[in-house]
Amino acid sequence: MTQLKWQCRRGMRELDELLVTYLEQRYEQAPETDKQAFQALLQLPDPDLVGYLLKKQTPATELQRVVEHILKRIDT
């Protein structure tokens, strides 16, 4: 979990906040497929992450569910 937390720190406050919040609040209870998708999401370059989290790009199908969960935090 510590390694994932470090990977969530991207140097962009907005990204850091969204990713760390998901990790701390949802990751442990998430199904294994969502955990794997979140880990894959963390491997992406920052411009892709920004595009997905600002809804300017559509993530790959396997990442959509996790992106939606991350965005629920700011949509509500």
Q: How far apart are alpha carbons 6 and 64 in whole angstroms?
A: 22
Q: What is the pLDDT of residue 2?
A: 86
Q: How far apart are alpha carbons 37 and 31 in whole angstroms?
A: 10
Is 9's pLDDT higher than 60? Answer: yes
**Residue-range domains of the chain with CATH:** 2-75 (1.10.150.250)
Q: Which of 74, 64, 57 is nearest to 41 (CA)?
A: 64
* Half-sphere exposure (Cβ direction) of 54: Cα atoms closer than 13 Å: 9
52 with 67: CB under 8 angstroms?
yes
**pTM score of the predicted model:** 0.89
Q: What is the pLDDT of residue 62?
A: 93
Question: Please, which pLDDT band fits residue 76 given cuts at 50, 70 and 90?
Answer: very low
Q: Dump pLDDT digits (tens) for 49-75.
A: 999 998 999 999 999 999 999 998 654
